[in-house]
Amino acid sequence: MTATIIAGTGSYVPDRVLTNADLERMVDTSDEWITARTGIRERRIAADDQATSDLAAAAARRALEAAGMAPEEVELVLVATATPDMFFPATACLVQTAIGATNAAAFDLSAACSGFIYGLNVADAYIRSGTYRNVLLIGAETMSRVTDWTDRSTCVLFGDGAGAVVLKAAPGDSRAGAPGILHSRIHSDGAAWDYICVPGGGSRLPPSNDLVEKRLQYLQMRGNETFKVAVRNMERAARAVLDAAGGIKPQDLALVVPHQANMRILNAVAERLELSEGQMFVNLQSYGNTSAASVPLALDEAVRGGRVHSGDLVLFLAFGSGLTWGAALLRWA
Ligand code: ACO
């Protein structure tokens, strides 16, 4: 039997901090509104010369160092992102060369805010099938590049950052008590594609002056509708993996690391799952919604802060554009 363990974590955020007070000077908003409606106090913004692959490579180097793995040992570089450096090549290829993972295959995975959970699911399938033993999974975003800084309903929400994990094959059966991923499930509903999207710049609406004038190169979101489905689907996804793992109860979890979208969404999910105070890890106050980066960024902070111990059951949860959502349950190595 082979299980997929997390052997190391790493993260990186750009130096520039954008506070709610800064946003008050840019659009008609207030620190009070943003804090009460979202829980976010500040977010990081990439420097002009930083692209998604730069953030991703910095997080990846830290994860490899934590795992004690040389870049040449990595067999697959997977980058989950909705804000790639370019249409092609894949951001994962740019990361591969930046970190010197010369023996790896590399590709991107597009599932917006759920990208990291999708990545865990894909990497786990590769590892358990014996295809790869060492996978570097990175969630990285420069959301600031697709944010309309004149739209107060979205610009207060997002931030830039990256998080990475080294996933390794380990002997043992994770479903019988050994460390590793016990279960992961991913879901999609393309009928609601327009809940959160960047409408322009792709093959449907290629770049043009008209598109730029209409600001269609920026993210658009139906916040209210998204909010409701996010809560419902994150709860459902959590219960599905816990049931699949043999009826583990939410109360048995040492830590829940959710996508950091909005404090009110996380409170509603925690309430529905009847989690106790502190069982859910939250750092959105410092980084906002960093899309695919948010779960591994939060995980790295939890790990380095001593919140995760050997044998702990950790649940990852996410929801995002697509629509996509999913959950993964892991026993920490
Ligand atoms: N400052 C002040 N007022 C604002 C702001 C702002 N930044 N933004 C909106 N408002 C106003 C609105 O205009 C509205 O005013 P009105 O009543 O006069 O029309 C009022 O505040 C309420 O607006 P709502 O949109 O109803 O506010 P809501 O409480 O729903 O909060 C929010 C909006 C924060 C966007 C919330 O709906 C949310 O978090 N939704 C989910 C977002 C999410 O999780 N996305 C998923 C992942 S993203 C991805 O995949 C890339």
Q: How confident is the model at residue 175 (pLDDT cuts 50, 70, 90)?
A: confident
CA of 126 to the centre of ligand 1 (A): 39
Q: Give the mean model confidence (pLDDT) for residues 233-241.
A: 97
Confidence band for 15, pLDDT divided at 50, 70 and 90: very high
> Predicted confidence band at 297 (pLDDT cuts at 50, 70, 90)?
very high
Cα separation, 124 vs 130, whole angstroms: 10
Please give the distance, rounded to the nearest whole angstrom, from the Cα atom of residue 144 to the centre of ligand 1.
Answer: 18
Contact 294, 160 (CB under 8 A): no
Digit-coded pLDDT (tens) for 193-217? 999 999 999 999 999 999 999 999 9
The rounded mean pLDDT for the chain is 97
Nearest CA to 202 out of 78, 118, 289, 84 is that of 84
Structural domains of the chain sorted by starting position, each given as residue range(s) with its CATH number in brackets: 2-176 (3.40.47.10), 180-331 (3.40.47.10)
Contact call for residues 122 and 190 (beta carbons, < 8 A): no
Mean pLDDT across the stretch 115-132?
Answer: 98
Residue in 153, 222, 287 to alter for ligand 1 test, most ligand atoms within 8 A of Cβ = 153
Average pLDDT over residues 294-302: 98
Q: Which tens digit of pLDDT belongs to each residue from 125-151?
A: 999 999 999 999 999 999 999 999 999
Cα 31 to ligand 1 centre (Å): 14
Rounded distance from Cα 187 to ligand 1 centre (Å): 25
- Average pLDDT of the residues in 233-247: 95
Are the C-beta atoms of 138 and 161 separated by less than 8 Å?
A: no
The verdict on pTM exceeding 0.85 is: yes
Q: Which two tokens stand for residue 233?
A: 């689907």
Band the pLDDT of 36: cuts 50, 70, 90: very high
Q: Which residues line ligand 1 (CB under 6 A)?
A: 29, 33-34, 37-38, 112-113, 152-153, 156, 196, 223-224, 226-227, 230, 261-262, 265, 289, 291, 320-321
Q: Is the pLDDT of residue 45 over 90?
A: yes
Which atom of ligand 1 is nearest the CA belonging to 155? 7
In this structure, what DSSP letter does residue 289 have? B
